[in-house]
Amino acid sequence: MKVKSLKSDPGIFQRAIDLFECTQCGTCCQGEGGIYLSREEINRISQFLNLSQRQFLKKFCLQKNGKTYIHTREDGYCHFSKKGRCTIHEVKPAPCRQWPFFPPMLTDQINWETARNSCPGLTPFHTLEEYLSQKNKKGS
C-alpha cells in the first residue's frame, strides 16, 4: 500500500527528519551489507580521519561489484559504530544521514513498518501518516 506520494508532498522527507528523535541504540549500524560510499564521501571521510584515500580504503572498506562499502566488523557492526554512536557523524554517508527516512520508507507501508519495527526512534504504533499528523498536532 502506498502511503503518500513524494511528488504530491515533497516536504514530507524533511518534515519526517525534523520530527525524528534518534535514541542512539546503534541497531541500524549493524548488518552484512555494508554502507555504500560515493567518491566524494570517500574523500570527505578520509580527510576527517586524517588518512589518505588509499589508507582509508585499505583499512575500512571493501569493494563489491566495482563499488566501495564500509566494512563491517566481526561483531556485525559498522567499523565506525561505538556504543551506539557514529564516530564519523559529521561526515557520515548519505544512507546513514537519511535513515530511517529513505524515500522508499516514506511511500510504502510495508517498508515503513519494517523501519518502525527496528528503529526505536520512531513512534512504534502509528502508520507514517498517523505519525506525522500526530506529531504535527503536538507541534502546533
Binding site for ligand SF4 (CB under 6 A): 22-29, 35, 70, 78, 80-81, 86, 88, 92, 96, 99-100, 119-121
Q: Could you tell me the smallest distance in angstroms from the CB atom of residue 87 to ligand SF4? A: 7
Instruction: Count CB neighbours of 12 within 10 A.
Output: 20
- Coil, helix or strand at residue 112: helix
- The residues pairing with 77 across neighbouring beta strands, listed in sequence order, are 30
In the bound complex, what is the minimum distance in angstroms from residue 40's beta carbon to ligand SF4? 15
**Which residue number, 6 or 94, has a Cβ lying nearer to ligand SF4?**
94
CB of 7 to ligand SF4, least distance (A): 26
Task: Quote the least distance from Cβ 140 to ligand SF4, whole Å.
Answer: 25
Nearer to ligand SF4, 12 or 92 (CB): 92
Beta bridge partners of 35: 70
> What backbone phi and psi angles, to 5 degrees, belong to 57?
-60, -40
Secondary-structure percent of the chain, ordered helix, strand, coil, rounded to 5: 45, 15, 40
Contact 96, 35 (CB under 8 A): yes
CB nearer to ligand SF4: pick between 12 and 99: 99
In the bound state with ligand SF4, the residue whose beta carbon lies nearer, of 5 and 31, is 31
Quick one: 5 or 14, whose CB is closer to ligand SF4?
14
Compute the least distance from the CB of residue 113 to ligand SF4, in Å: 14
C-alpha 135/C-alpha 140 separation (Å) is 9
